[in-house]
Structures are given as structure tokens and as C-alpha cells.
């Protein structure tokens, strides 16, 4: 307890999180989507953007500023006849956007609009013989898709529809000698992939299969002098790993192996205090992706005034409780 109080006092001394500015920034991004080339070339992943932006708003306690009916209607229009969701209206479905759609509906407490069996059948149909999951009908395999499938089915209470043992074994086959995980068996360890694999193992109750000291060692070596975390050895720190590394460390109970104060300071230094938003590194340009990961990282670090986020489902704890405990 003493430690936590000390941390909170330190956080407040470090300077505030510019909550109102960040809310304003996220709302502005949502509006000016069509007037620049840089914005339109991202239109295929608008569904992910919606998840990043809306989760940030919810963590900051400001989800009520958006029109949830309008968003829900748009999400329904992104659903394909196969049951999967696309990143935007008229695009092809993919498991990446399907999870974001389910997560946003969960945030908005609108899961009831879904034909749950239709969505879950889409995901079930993507499991391969070896337990892995394809991202869509074209067959690319990646442990990210395993996480997405398991997370999505769990949120929809349909985990029993797949071969879980095979799914878990495939993830374990992607484990490296350094304790980390890659996209495929033999793929290089990457903090983002590690989050996916550890998250999937957490969701399926299989964390006992992870060598926590070995993985924890690799993860805590991601903290660099500035306090920020990188995603791989020899890389620069980046705010997005505040989420991926930190959530993994929490799930395997090794978060005390890094310096939390220095990480909080690093994230706060990446804020644009004038116009809102958070960037990858101090003084770089902000975007929604890094704003979400910065705020989510601060949430995991128990920053005062930010709602708690679940490290496996990547949704606010109250949303997860609503789904699994019926509030």
C-alpha cells in the first residue's frame, strides 16, 4: 500500500494527464476523416480506429460524448454476410476488424444487436487443423489471429465451439528459446505478439504453461534508460509497448521487475499538451493509436483518474465484468 501511495504522489508531481485535450483530439480525428490523403489511406482500418478512440474515451470517463446509436448502426453496416466484420463499409471482412467491432459493441453495451452464432461461426470456420487461426478466407496464419479468435469467442460466450487444446498447443509452438513468442513457429519474439499469446493463454486459463521468469526477463529488458519500453532488442522505445509489454508483465505477475515511475514519466512526456493526443516518442506527431496505448498504459499503471483496463481483454474492467458477471 505504501508503495502505491508513493507512486500516486509521484505521478501527480510529474504533471497532469491532459484529459480534456485528449478527448477533444479524439473527437476531432473522428470528424476530419475525409479531407487529406493521409487520412483517407487509413480508411480500411476505421474499425480499429473506432476501438482505439472509443476505448480511450471510456478510460477517461467520457464515452457519453459520442452517439452510440450512430456508431452501432455503422458497425452493423460493416458486417459481411459471412458473419465477419470489415474495417469499413464495402470492404472485405477480416478477423482483425471482427474483434474491434465486438469490442466496440461491448464498450457501448450493444452486444445484443449481434447474431452471436453468426459472428462466432465465422471465427470458428477460421481455425485450421493444427489449431492455428487464419485471418480471413485467404489463409494467412498469425498468433495475433489466435488471440483475436479466443478473445472474441470468450466475449461472446462461445469458447466451447472450437478445439481449445489445439489452439493452445499452436500458440505454445510459437514460443522461442528466449521465452517470447512470434507470429508463427520460429518467428522472432515481439512484444506485440507476446501480448497476443499471453493474452490468449490467460483467456483459456493456460498461463501455467508459460515460463514466467524467462519471459519476464525478456520483457523487463525492454525498458530503456528513458523509462520507455521497446518492442524488441536494439529498438527505440515507443508508447505502444507501454501497453503490450506492461499488460504481459501483469498477466504473468512480473510487473514489479520494471520501473513504473520512469514509465509513467515517459508516457506523460509523449503528450501534446497544447492540442491533445499522445505520440510514439516525445515531440513526435500524435495519432489515435498511440493515444489509446498511452492512456491504456497509464490505466495499467493505476494513474489517478483513469479507469482500470483488463490486461487480457483490452477493455475497461467494468465492461468485462458486465459481460462475465452480469454487472
Partner 1 sequence: MSKGDLISKGNGFDLLDQFEHILDSDPLIDEVGFIHPSQFVILNKEAESSKQQSKDEIWSSDNSLDHEDSNFWNRDHKLGISAHVLLPLYKAAKDAFMDSIRQYKIVENLPGASEDEMDSPRSSAMESEVMKHSKALLLLSCDFGTAWNSRKLILSKKRHMSLFSDELLFSGLVLSYSPKSEQAWCHRRWVIKMIAGQYSAVQEIVGKESDLVEKIAERSKMNYRAWNHRCWLVFYMTREQVLLELNKSRKWAGLHVADNSCFHYRAQLMLTILDLSWHKQEDETSDHDVEVYQIWKEELLWNEDLIKRYVGREALWLYRRFLSLYWTRHFATNVGDATHQSRHTSCVADDVNIFLDNELRLVNSCSTIPDNKFEDFHAQSIHAATYILWLTKQLPKSQEIELKKKLNAGSLLTMMNEACPERSPLWSNCLHGSI
Interface with partner 1 (CB under 8 A): 36-37, 40-41, 44-45, 86-87, 90-92, 94, 136, 138-140, 177-178, 182-184, 186-190, 213-214, 216-217, 220-221, 223, 232-235, 256-259, 262
Minimum CB distance to partner 1 smaller for 62 or for 94: 94
Nearest distance from residue 301's CB to partner 1, in Å? 15
Residue with smaller CB distance to partner 1, 225 or 327: 225
**From the CB of 4, what's the least distance to partner 1, in Å?**
16
Nearer to partner 1, 44 or 307 (CB): 44
Residues 6+ apart with CB under 8 A from 7: 260, 261, 264, 301, 302
Distances (CA, A) of 256 to 7, 216, 220, 260, 301: 13, 10, 9, 8, 11
**Torsions phi, psi of 94, nearest 5?**
-155, 150
* Shortest distance in whole angstroms from residue 144 CB to partner 1: 10
Q: What share of the chain is helix, strand, coil (3-state, %, to 5)?
A: 55, 5, 40
Minimum distance from residue 316 beta carbon to partner 1 (Å):
28
To partner 1, the closest distance from the beta carbon of 120 in angstroms equals: 22
Residue 293: strand, helix, or coil: helix
Q: Would you say 40 or 65 has its CB closer to partner 1?
A: 40
Task: Annotate 97-154 with DSSP letters as a single string.
Answer: HHHHHHHHHHHTT-GGGS-HHHHHHHHHTTB-TTS-BBSSTT--B-HHHHHHHHHHHH
Would you say 16 or 211 has its CB closer to partner 1? 211
Q: Which is nearer to partner 1, 36 or 112 (CB)?
A: 36
User: Least distance from C-beta 152 to partner 1, angstroms?
Assistant: 18
**DSSP assignment of 198-253, as one string?**
HHHHHHTT-GGGS-HHHHHHHHHTTB-TTS-B-SSTTPPP-THHHHHHHHHHHHTT
Amino acid at each position: 500500500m505504501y508503495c502505491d501511495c508513493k507512486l500516486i504522489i509521484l505521478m501527480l508531481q510529474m504533471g497532469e494527464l491532459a484529459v480534456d485535450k485528449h478527448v477533444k483530439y479524439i473527437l476531432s480525428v473522428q470528424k476530419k476523416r475525409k479531407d487529406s490523403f493521409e487520412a483517407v489511406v487509413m480508411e480500411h482500418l476505421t474499425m480499429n480506429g473506432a476501438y482505439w478512440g472509443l476505448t480511450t474515451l471510456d478510460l477517461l470517463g467520457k464515452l457519453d460524448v459520442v452517439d452510440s446509436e450512430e456508431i452501432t448502426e455503422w458497425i452493423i453496416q460493416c458486417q459481411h454476410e459471412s458473419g465477419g466484420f470489415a474495417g469499413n463499409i464495402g470492404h472485405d471482412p477480416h478477423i482483425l476488424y471482427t474483434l474491434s467491432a465486438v469490442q466496440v459493441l461491448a464498450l457501448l453495451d450493444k452486444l445484443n444487436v449481434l447474431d452471436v452464432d453468426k459472428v462466432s461461426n465465422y471465427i470458428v470456420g477460421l481455425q485450421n487443423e493444427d489449431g492455428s487461426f487464419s485471418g480471413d478466407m485467404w489463409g494467412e496464419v498469425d498468433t495475433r489471429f489466435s488471440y483475436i479468435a479466443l478473445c472474441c469467442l470468450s466475449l461472446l460466450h462461445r469458447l466451447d465451439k472450437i478445439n481449445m487444446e489445439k489452439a493452445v498447443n499452436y500458440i505454445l509452438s510459437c514460443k522461442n528459446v528466449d521465452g517470447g513468442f512470434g507470429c508463427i513457429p520460429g518467428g522472432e519474439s515481439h512484444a506485440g505478439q507476446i501480448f497476443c499469446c499471453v493474452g490468449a493463454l490467460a483467456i483459456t486459463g493456460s498461463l501455467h504453461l508459460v515460463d514466467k521468469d524467462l519471459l519476464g526477463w525478456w520483457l523487463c529488458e525492454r525498458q530503456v534508460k528513458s523509462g520507455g519500453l521497446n518492442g524488441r532488442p536494439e529498438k527505440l522505445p515507443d508508447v505502444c509497448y507501454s501497453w503490450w509489454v506492461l499488460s504481459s508483465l501483469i498477466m504473468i505477475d512480473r510487473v514489479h521487475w520494471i520501473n513504473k515511475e520512469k514509465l509513467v514519466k515517459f508516457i506523460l512526456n509523449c503528450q501534446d499538451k497544447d492540442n491533445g493526443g499522445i505520440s510514439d516518442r516525445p515531440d513526435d506527431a500524435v495519432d489515435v493509436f498511440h493515444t489509446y496505448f498511452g492512456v491504456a498504459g497509464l490505466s495499467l499503471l493505476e494513474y489517478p483518474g483513469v479507469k482500470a483496463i483488463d490486461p487480457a481483454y483490452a477493455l475497461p474492467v467494468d465492461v468485462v465484468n458486465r459481460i462475465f458477471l452480469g454487472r
